[in-house]
Chain A
Amino acid sequence: MRTSNAPASASASWGKTVSETLELREASQSEEEYSLYDHEKAVIQQAERMLTKLDEVAQGVRVLAQAYRDGFRETSRLVRISDRMQLDLHEANRTLTNQSQDLQQLNAALVKEIERREHLEQELRRIASVDELTGTYSRRHVLELGDHELRRRVRHEHDLAVLLMDLDHFKRVNDSLGHAAGDQLLRDFGALLRSGLRQGDIAGRFGGEEFLAILPETELEMARAIAERLCASVRAHRTEWKDQTLRVTVSVGVATLKDEESLERVIARADRALYQAKRSGRDRVEVMER
C-alpha cells in the first residue's frame, strides 16, 4: 500500500509546483488542469493591481490637497491675526512717539522756565547785594565778601585793611534841603569812593551815611594814603543841586586786621578811629595803630 501510493503523491506535489509557477490561483481549478490564457489573465490581474495602486495614489493626492488647503487657510488666518496685532502695536507705538515728543516739548519748556527763574534769582541776588543809590554793595553783602577775604587771608597770611567812613554833618543837609538833596550827595560819594579804590577792593554802604571799605592785601600805610586821597577828593568835590552848590566832607577811621581777629573786631577798631576823627574836627583820617 505504501509503495503503490508513493508515485501518486509525488505526482500531485509536482503538479502543484507547476501551477504556482504559472500563478494560477483559481481555487476551483484542479491541480492537473492547464490553461491557454495564462498570459491574458496575468495582464488583467496586473491592470487591476495598477488600478488599485492608482486609487491609492489618487487618495494620497486628495489628502495632500486637503493638507495644503488646511495649511493655506491657517496661514491666511495667521496673517490676518498678525495684521490686526501689528495695527494695534503700530498705533500704540505712534501714541508713545507722540507722547515722547510732547514730553520733550514740556521738558524744553521746563528747562526754559528754570533758566528764567535762575536769571530772576541772579537778578534778585544782585539787587539784594547792591545798594542802588550809591552803586556800592549792601551792608550784608560787603560783610559776606569781607568774611570771604578773611578766610582767604588765613591761608595767604596777607594784611587786610578796613576803612569806616561817615559823611560829616549829613543830617543837616537832609534836614535843610530834603532827602533828595541828601540822596544826591550819597550818590556822588558812592562814585568817588568806588573810583578812589583799586581793583579787588570792596566798598559797601554800611547804613545811612556810613560806608565800609575792605582792602585786601593792604598794609596800614597804604590804607591811610588811600583814605587821605579819598578825603581830599570829597573835600574838593562839588555837588550841583538845583541852583545850589553843595559841599560835604568825610571822616575816615582806618584799621588793619590783627592775627586771629574777627571782621567785627577790626570794624569796631576802625569805628573807634572814626570816632577819633569826628572828635578831632572831622574831614580827616584817623588810624588805629596795631
Chain B
Amino acid sequence: MDSLYFPQTERSPLLELDFAKRRMRIEGESYPENAAAFFGPVLKSLAHYLASPAQDGSSSQFLVDLRMAYFNSSSAKALMNIFQLLESAARRGVRIQINWYYHPDDETMMEFGEDFGEDFERARFSLCVLGEDGE
C-alpha cells in the first residue's frame, strides 16, 4: 500500500502515513479550508490498511505520533474519526500506540490530549511533554 505524505502548509499540518514503517504522524496547525477533503484520503487509506489481512494477527502493531499546535473543530472531528479507527483495530488485536506530544507551556493541547485519551480502552494513548529541543 502506498504511503501518504503531505508537507506542512499555513493551514494544514504535516501528515505522514508510512505503511512500511507502520507509523503515522501529524504535526503542526490544522484548520484546512476543507477538512473533509484534507483528512478524507487519510481516513480512507488508514481504514483500508487497518482492515487488511496483514493487520489481523496479534503480532501486528501501529504507532501514531501527534504533535498538534492548533486545530479547529472539523480537524478535531477528523482526529476523533482516526481515533475510532485505531481503537477498533486495537479491539481486533492490533497493538496500537498513540503518543500525544505537547509543549510544556501549552496547557490547551495538554487538556485536549487528556480528553481524547479517555476514549481509548484497548489502544495505548500516552501524553508526552516536549523538551526544549522539541523532542
A contact residues vs B (CB 8 Å cutoff): 78-80, 82-83, 86-87, 90
Contacts and interface: CB of A to CB of B under 8 A. Distances in A.
A79 B73 CA distance: 6
Q: Identify the 4 closest CB pairs spanning chains A and B, nearest first.
A: A82-B73, A79-B73, A86-B72, A83-B72
Given A82-B72, A83-B72, A90 B31 contact: yes
A278 B77 CA distance: 103
20 contacts: A78-B73, A79-B73, A79-B74, A79-B77, A80-B74, A82-B72, A82-B73, A83-B31, A83-B35, A83-B72, A83-B73, A83-B74, A86-B31, A86-B72, A86-B73, A87-B31, A87-B72, A90-B31, A90-B70, A90-B72
A87 B70 CA distance: 11
B125 to A, nearest CB: 23
Interface of B: 31, 35, 70, 72-74, 77
A171 B72 CA distance: 89
Interface secondary structure of B, over-half rule: helix
Contacts of B72: 82-83, 86-87, 90
Contacts of B35: 83
Interface secondary structure of A, over-half rule: helix
Contacts of A82: 72-73
Given A82-B73, A87-B31, 12 more contacts: A79-B77, A80-B74, A83-B31, A83-B72, A83-B73, A83-B74, A86-B31, A86-B72, A86-B73, A87-B72, A90-B31, A90-B72
Nearest to B29: A90
A96 to B, nearest CB: 14
A86 B72 CA distance: 6
A82 B75 CA distance: 11
Contacts of B74: 79-80, 83
Interface centre among A78, A80, A83, A90 (most CB of B within 10 A): A83
A86 B77 CA distance: 14
A70 B70 CA distance: 29
Nearest to A79: B73
A86 B30 CA distance: 11
Contacts of B70: 90
B34 to A, nearest CB: 10
A157 B61 CA distance: 90
Nearest to A93: B70
A86 B32 CA distance: 12
